[in-house]
Chain A
């Protein structure tokens, strides 16, 4: 599904260029649940942004579902983001004055799904995160955990193949964080690909594969078996 070869990303800040990614090579198959871990400044967020089509690499190649990002226009990237990808951000990025319903509707506004079918999709997505009673509440009035669940519903509503989550538990208390991770896990169990960026190992271990990134390079790439999970917890 995701095939990355020698991916590079260079930022120009002032006079000095900064290399956020210095040649990352990895591939992610359909149905995987992958955590990308690393200290801050390691390039893990940059990697996620490029994988999720929010940014373009400055070097190397990236094929998503067999198609190279270099061959796609910004408009095509927008369509893929809309159709095949879902996003969950650390800071939720909800429009606080809109209701839960209206927030979850936003991706549908930019899709080719007919208005008549939207209500059902929105209600299903909100039900999947257990917030059906808050459907008409303004997003700004919800607690942090509820907000992140709305964000997951928004990511789900277009029925994407892959969900990208950037530190989804970073702004949450551990109780809410756990709830959010359980939802992501259940999405994976229903067959969706999930790519998660985090620096908390407890969060990372919900995945079945952990990629550690350091100084813009992949440091390690390990599948987590029940055995090794047990080992880490010990």
Chain B
């Protein structure tokens, strides 16, 4: 039998049972739509997170205190709440002498209540040096950034994020040269960051307070160590070489001979990206796996209906066999029917999924300030089409075999 004829025969019988075909397809439609939605939402979330990390710059190296963790997915000790004091001013000085490094910026951080008049907010603050602005690509929207001499002489000046500026001062008051209180210490606001700055390390830059590191260490935290050192690698050097130099300098400085006993860890943007990429990919796959359960349910629905159809059409099968259809012809006809059902269901499911993803995107970008990305991964589309085709074969083969194996005379006599 020509495939063209088989295809025509199959579509015809699906069209004759329109309502049933549509209801049967529904299971696959829902399954594929949920796979598409979850995969594309997962992809959007991944793009969002990775975009934020990329915002910190590709030649940025982050040094945190504490030994690097052994497990690939666990954060360094310093991030687990353990206080480690191994990063000191002498490390910064030593790194600054390295020719492969352009800039070194230590930072300390904490949380405090920020007060202006009757308005207040509990926000993260960071004690930074003047280099931090250039290393992190922070741009000033109003006023100016504080200088290294402000840092050296421990002046009480602050640069605040644009969202925090609105919270404290309202939309109409210019925050520059106003005085805010941070842990009951007065700071003069000298600048406001421009909007849309990318947040890194989970800190929302819109709400941040930046003050000279000297003030933060002595007056707010009472410490002399750093919580992080950011290093900007010289563009002329390979980033792996730079990290090895940093490790060497810090080992010398800390008197460490065994690299396994490092009391610091070094991460590059590439490290962080691959870690985050792994985590979010697993998450996306997990979501897709949940969604595919509904695909299996839909497939069983198809199998069920096809079995009913085979029984109902026993006489038709008998007639076709009597006039010369071979077992393979019958098998082919029923397989084409089930694959057509699942494939059409897949196409409709993809369309519905795309619609929902589009609505989510429109909703999120209209009502929130999250920089949600419209991601519609082509891999999800290909996967869905492949899965629906395979489901058609997998769930159609059993009913089709039942049909093909019928003895012509028994089938003709069936009542």
Which residues in A have some Cβ–Cβ distance to B below 8 Å? Answer: 49, 52, 54-55, 74-75, 78-79, 81-83, 87, 89, 93, 95, 97-98, 106-107, 109-111, 115, 154, 158
Number of interface residues of B (CB under 8 A): 26
CB distance from B110 to the nearest CB of A (A): 78
Q: How far is the CA of A87 from the CA of B325 in the complex (A)?
A: 13
Q: How far is the CA of A2 from the CA of B70 in the complex (A)?
A: 84
Q: Are B323 and A106 within 8 A (Cβ)?
A: yes
Chain A residues within 8 Å of B412, by CB: 54, 89, 93
Query: B364 contacts the other chain (Cβ, under 8 Å)?
Result: no
Q: Are B324 and A107 within 8 A (Cβ)?
A: yes
Q: Are A79 and B327 within 8 A (Cβ)?
A: no
Which residues in B have some Cβ–Cβ distance to A below 8 Å? Answer: 1-2, 4-6, 9, 12, 16, 315-316, 318-329, 407-409, 412
Q: Are B407 and A81 within 8 A (Cβ)?
A: no
Which of B4, B318, B320, B409 meets A110, CB within 8 Å? B320
Which residue of B is nearest A74, CB measured? B327
Given A55-B407, A111-B324, 20 extra CB contacts under 8 A: A49-B409, A54-B322, A74-B326, A74-B327, A79-B324, A79-B326, A81-B322, A81-B324, A82-B323, A93-B322, A95-B316, A98-B12, A106-B323, A107-B324, A109-B325, A110-B1, A110-B323, A110-B324, A115-B2, A154-B323
Chain A residues within 8 Å of B327, by CB: 74-75, 78
Which residue of A is nearest B410, CB measured? A55
Chain B residues within 8 Å of A158, by CB: 324
Which residue of A is nearest B411, CB measured? A54
Q: How far is the CA of A74 from the CA of B327 in the complex (A)?
A: 8
Which residue of A is nearest B322, CB measured? A87
Contacts A49-B409, A54-B409, A55-B409: A110 and B329 contacting too (C-beta < 8 A)? yes
Chain B residues within 8 Å of A83, by CB: 324
Contacts A54-B412, A110-B1: A78 and B324 contacting too (C-beta < 8 A)? yes
Which residue of A is nearest B321, CB measured? A78
In the A-B complex, the 5 residue pairs with the closest CB atoms: A82-B324, A110-B324, A107-B323, A54-B409, A78-B326
Chain A residues within 8 Å of B409, by CB: 49, 54-55
If over half of B's interface residues share one DSSP class (helix, strand or loop), that class is named, otherwise mixed; here it is helix
Q: Are B5 and A93 within 8 A (Cβ)?
A: no
Which residue of B is nearest A89, CB measured? B412
Q: Are B325 and A78 within 8 A (Cβ)?
A: yes
Which residue of A is nearest B15, CB measured? A97
Chain B residues within 8 Å of A75, by CB: 326-328
Which residue of A is nearest B325, CB measured? A110
Q: Are B408 and A106 within 8 A (Cβ)?
A: no
CB distance from A179 to the nearest CB of B (A): 22
Chain B residues within 8 Å of A82, by CB: 323-324
Chain B residues within 8 Å of A78, by CB: 321, 324-327
Q: How far is the CA of A54 from the CA of B323 in the complex (A)?
A: 10
Q: How far is the CA of A63 from the CA of B327 in the complex (A)?
A: 23
Contacts A49-B409, A93-B412: A81 and B2 contacting too (C-beta < 8 A)? no
Tally the A-B contacts, defined by beta carbons under 8 Å: 64
Contacts A54-B408, A54-B409, A89-B412: A110 and B326 contacting too (C-beta < 8 A)? yes
12 inter-chain pairs at a CB distance below 8 angstroms, sorted by A residue, are A55-B407, A82-B323, A82-B324, A87-B322, A87-B323, A106-B319, A106-B320, A109-B325, A110-B1, A110-B323, A110-B326, A115-B2
Q: Are B319 and A95 within 8 A (Cβ)?
A: yes
Chain B residues within 8 Å of A111, by CB: 324
Which residue of A is nearest B328, CB measured? A75
Contacts A54-B409, A54-B412, A89-B412: A109 and B1 contacting too (C-beta < 8 A)? yes
Q: How far is the CA of A81 from the CA of B409 in the complex (A)?
A: 13
Which residue of B is nearest A87, CB measured? B322
Chain A residues within 8 Å of B315, by CB: 93
Chain B residues within 8 Å of A107, by CB: 323-324
Q: How far is the CA of A49 from the CA of B4 in the complex (A)?
A: 31
Which residue of B is nearest A155, CB measured? B323
Chain A residues within 8 Å of B321, by CB: 78, 81
Q: How far is the CA of A98 from the CA of B315 in the complex (A)?
A: 15
Chain A residues within 8 Å of B16, by CB: 97
Chain B residues within 8 Å of A54, by CB: 322, 408-409, 412
**Most chain-A Cβ atoms within 10 A of its Cβ — which of B315, B318, B328, B409?**
B409
Q: How far is the CA of A110 from the CA of B324 in the complex (A)?
A: 6
Chain B residues within 8 Å of A95, by CB: 316, 319
Chain B residues within 8 Å of A52, by CB: 322
CB distance from B63 to the nearest CB of A (A): 75
Q: How far is the CA of A158 from the CA of B325 in the complex (A)?
A: 13
CB distance from A210 to the nearest CB of B (A): 24
CB distance from A20 to the nearest CB of B (A): 12
Chain A residues within 8 Å of B318, by CB: 93
CB distance from A46 to the nearest CB of B (A): 9
Q: How far is the CA of A27 from the CA of B5 in the complex (A)?
A: 38
Which of A55, A93, A97, A115 meets B319, CB within 8 Å? A93
CB distance from A155 to the nearest CB of B (A): 8
Which residue of B is nearest A86, CB measured? B323
